[in-house]
Structure 1
Amino acid sequence: MKLDREMEMLLDEIPLLHHGDLLGCGETAAGVADGADADFDFSYLIQELGEMGFVDDEDEDEDENGDFSSFLYPRKASSSPTSNLHFMDAENFVASRPFSTDRRREMSLFDPFPFSSTCFDAAATEDWDFQAAPAVRSRPCKTSRPRKATSPKKAGAAAKPSKYESLVGLRGYMYHVAKDQHGCRFLQQRLDDGKREVDFIFNGVARHAVDLMVNPFGNYLMQKLLAVCHEEQRMGIVLTLTKEPLVLVRISLNVHGTRAVQKLIESLRTKEEIQLVVAALRPGFLELIKDPNGNHVVQKCLQSFGADDNKPIFDAAAIYCLDIGMQCHGCCVLQRCIARSTSEHKERLVAAIARNGFELAQDAYGNYVVQYVIELKVAAANASLAQQFEGKYVQLSMQKFSSNVVEKCLKVFKDADKANIILELLAAPHFERLLQHPYANYVVYAALQNSKGALHSALTNAMRPHVELLRTSPYCKRIYSRALLKK
C-alpha cells in the first residue's frame, strides 16, 4: 500500500488535531493519562482512510464522488473498542514529513482552503508551508487610569467632513441651510466669491426673506446679502418685505430682525425704495419708538434718510410727543427727531413739546426732553415753558426730576425770566426749608451761581439768618461753601 501526497498532508495535520477529536475517535489525551493503552492498531485508520479515497491502491476504488467530501465530512466513529484512536503518539507513525515544532501555527482543517489536487501538487512542488497569518497579540490591560473618552460631538466633528462643500448640491435646500449655524456661515463665505455665487444664493433665499430676517442665524446671511446684492435684487427684497402690511414692523420688533432691517435701511439708495420702507413702517411708528428693538430702526431711518423722507416720523413724533417723551426709549428718539429735523418740521416738533412742558418736566424721562428744548434757546418755546412754570417754581424745585428743569431754566432763560424764578423762591413761606431740601437746595445753589447785582444780594441776605443751619445740614454745605456766604 502506498500513500500519496494527500495522505502526507493529512498525516502532517494529525499531531495538531489530538485536542479536537476531529475524527470522532472517542477518547482524548486525558484517556491516555488515565492509563489507556497507547499501542494503536493503525489498520483501522488505514481502512477508514481507504474508504474515504485517500489510499492509492489498485484494489481500492475511488470515492463515488471523486472528491474530498468524505474527508471533509468523515463518518461518525464506530462504537467498537478498536475505533478508539489516540493521537498523542502520532509522531511514531509519521514517516515522510516530520512535524515542524517551530511553526507559529500549522494549517488546520477548520481553516478555509480549496482542497484540490492541483493545489496540493503545487504545494508539494514548491515546498509551501501552510501557515495561517500570525495571530494579533492583544495589548495587556493597563492598571493606570483609562484615557478620557472623546465626546461623540467632537469625535463626529473630527471624523466627518463638512456637509457643505459646494453650492450646487444645495439647490432647493438653501432656505434650510441658511437657518443652520454652519450652513449660514458657509453661505456667507460663498458670497465673497463673486457675482455668480451672489445670484445663486439670492435665488435660493430671497423669497424667504421674512423668515430668515428673524432667524438667529439667517439674519446674518440676509445682512451680508443686502450689502453685496445689486439694485434690482435689493428692490426684490424690499417688495417681499413690504408686500403685506405690518410685516416689516413685526420684523423690526424682533431682537434678530431689528439688525437685518437696520442693514436694509443702510443699503437703500433709490427714492422708491426709501418710500416703500417708510410707508411700511409708518403704521407702527409709535410702537417702534417705544420698543427696545424697534427704536433702533427708527433712529437708523433718522440717521440714513433725509428730512423730507423722514417727514412721517416727525409728524408722528409731534402728535405723540407726550406719550413718547415719557418713555425711556421714546425720549431718546424724540431728541434725535429734533436734532435731525429742519425748518418747519423742527419748529412744529419743538412747539408740540413746549406745549406739554409742565407734564414732561415732572417725568423721569420727559424732563430730559424739556431740558434739551430749553438748551435750543428757541424764543417761542422758552417763552411757552416760562409761562407754564410761572407760579409753580417752588413746587417744581422740590421734585426730583423737575428740579433739574428749574436749574436749566436758571442757566438758559433770559434775565427777566431768571429774576421771576428767584423772586418766587424768595417769596416762599419757609425759605429755610428750600435750603435744606434734598432737591430744592440744588435750585438755590444754581440761583446763587446765575444771579448778580441786587438779585444776588437779596438771595444772600435771605440766607444769613440761617447760617448755623447751613453749617450743620448735609444739604446746605454746598451753599455755605460759597465764598460770598463766608464773608
Structure 2
Amino acid sequence: MNIVENNDYSPKSLPSSHLPLSSPYSASSSVDLSLLSSNDIIILSKDQHGCRMLQKKIDDDCSTNLPIIFNATYKLSSALMLDPFGNYLIQKLMISATPSQLSLIIIEITPNIGKIATNLHGTRALQKLIGCLSTPNHHDLIAIAISPQVVNLVHDLNGNHVIQKLISHFFGDDLDFLVDLIIIHLIEIASHKHGCCVLQKLLNKCSPYQIQKISNEILRNSVHLMKDQFGNYVIQYLISLDINGINLQLLRLVANELVPLSCGKFSSNVVEKCLKLNPNGCTVNDNIHPLLAALINIQTLMSLIKDQYGNYVVQTALEVADWPVKCVMAEMVRPMLPNIRYTNYGKRIHSKVVSILAELDNNNNNNDNTGGSHSPTYGSHSQSTPKTAGGTHRSNINTNNNLLPGINFSAHV
C-alpha cells in the first residue's frame, strides 16, 4: 500500500451537525464519534485540536472509542505516522491497541517503513511501535519489514535510532536477523558515523555466541577498521568487552603491523588501548606483552618517536611497562635524547626517559655503595620481532637472559 495523502479533506467538509459550533474540536468532549464518518475522523486526526480531542476520547472511554478510531484510521497508518499531528494519535493507538490490532498496523506500514523510519515524525512513531511489540508474531513481522532497509536506516540520522530501538527491545534469537545483516555489511556499517554507534550497542546486547559471530568478521577486517575514523571505535569497544580469546587475536594482528598502525591517526589509538591490555591474564613479570616485545627494537623506536602519532604509542608503552622493560626501552632511547629533546614530538618522551634513566642510575649507584652487582648496560642492545607464517606473532627477542630478569621473551601469545 502506498502512503495515502488526504489533501482532499478539509475541516469545512465536516457535517456541522456532528461537531459543536464552538470549535476548535478539543474544546468539547461531547462529540459522539459514532455519528462521524471515517473521513471525518481522518480529518480530525490530522488537525492539531482534533488530534487532541481523539486522544482524549480514547482516555475517557477506551473500550468504546478505540475501535471506532482504529477502524477509521489504521489503513492510513503510514500517512498518519508522517503527519505532524497524526503521529501522536497513531502512537496513542499503538499503546492501547490489542496484539491483533498492532499486527494490522505493522502490515499496513511495511511497504513504507523506510520512508517512515527516516522521517522526523515517523521515526518517533515507529520507535513507539517497536516498544509496544509484545508477541513473537510482532517480532517476525517487524523483522521482515525492516530487514531490506537495515543498511539505509543505520546510515540515516533518524533511521539509526529505529535500529537502536530494535536492539534495546529485542533479546536473544530475535536479534539474529540484525546480527546476520550487519555481518554481511560490516565494513560499510562499522566505518559510518552512525553505524559504529549502532554496532557498539549491538555488541553490548548480544549473546556470547552472537558476539563471537560479529567479532570473527571484525577480526577479518580489523586492520582496515583500525585505520578508519569511525571503525577504530568499534575495535576499541570490542577490546573493552575484555573477551580474552578475541583480544589475544587482536594483539597478534597489531603486533604484526605495529609501525604502520602506530603511525596512523586513528589506528594509533587502538595500539595504545592494546598496550593497556594484560594478555592471557599474565603479569609482565611472567610473559612480556607482545606489543612491548615488538617495541624493544631500536629501529622501531626511532621510527615511532619521530612520528606525530607514533610518539604517543611510545609514551603509553613507557607508562604501562614494568620496570625492567622500561629500563631496556630507556637505554635504547638514551643515544637519541640529544636529537629529540627539542622536537615537537619528542619532548615528552625525552622527559619520561630522563626520569627513568635517573632512577636507574640512582639504583646502580646504590648497588655500588652497598657492594651489589651492577645492572647490565643496555645501550648497544638491539632486537627484532619476526612474524611467523599465518600472521601469528611470537615474541622472539634474541636477548641475554640477564637483561630482563624474570621475563620470558620466548613466551608467545
Structure 1 length-normalised TM: 0.62
Match of 2:241 in 1: 376
Does residue 121 of structure 2 align to residue 253 of structure 1? Answer: no
Q: State the alpha-carbon separation in 2 of the partners of residues 313 and 465 from structure 1.
A: 55
Q: Which amino acid aligns with 1:421?
A: L
Q: Unmatched 5+ residue regions in structure 1?
A: 1-159
> What are the Cα deviations for residues 336-360 of structure 1, in whole angstroms up to 9, with x where unaligned?
1211111322211111111110000
Match of 1:391 in 2: 256
Matches within 5 A, 1:314-463: 314-414=179-279, 419-427=289-297, 429=299, 431-432=301-302, 434-463=304-333
Match of 1:235 in 2: 103
Matches within 5 A, 1:155-170: 161-164=22-25, 165=28, 166-168=31-33, 170=36
Does residue 58 of structure 2 align to residue 188 of structure 1? Answer: no
Q: How many residues align?
A: 325
Q: Which amino acid aligns with 1:349?
A: I
Q: Unmatched 5+ residue regions in structure 2?
A: 1-20, 360-413
Match of 2:83 in 1: 215
Q: Which amino acid aligns with 2:228?
A: D
Identity over aligned pairs, percent: 36
Decide which structure has greater helix share: 2
> What are the Cα deviations for residues 427-450 of structure 1, in whole angstroms up to 9, with x where unaligned?
353744533432112111110112
Q: Among 145, 154, 168, which residue is 1:289 paired with?
A: 154
Match of 2:356 in 1: 484
- Matched residue of 2:134: which SS? coil
Q: State the alpha-carbon separation in 1 of the partners of residues 319 and 237 from structure 2.
A: 21
Tell which structure's C-alpha radius of gyration is larger: 1
> What are the Cα deviations for residues 164-211 of structure 1, in whole angstroms up to 9, with x where unaligned?
142536433221222222322332233221212222222221111011
Contact 1:409/1:418 (<8 A) preserved: no
Q: Among 35, 53, 67, which residue is 1:199 paired with?
A: 67
Contact 1:435/1:476 (<8 A) preserved: yes
Contact 1:254/1:293 (<8 A) preserved: yes
CA gap of 1:417–1:401, structure 2 versus 1, over 3 A, is farther
- Cα offset, 1:426, TM superposition: 4.2
Structure 2 length-normalised TM: 0.72
Q: Which amino acid aligns with 2:175?
A: N
CA RMSD of aligned residues (A): 2.4
Contact 2:298/2:332 (<8 A) preserved: no
Matches within 5 A, 1:293-312: 293-312=158-177
Q: State the alpha-carbon separation in 2 of the partners of residues 409 and 194 from structure 1.
A: 60
Q: State the alpha-carbon separation in 2 of the partners of residues 426 and 387 from structure 1.
A: 16
Q: Which amino acid aligns with 1:227?
A: I
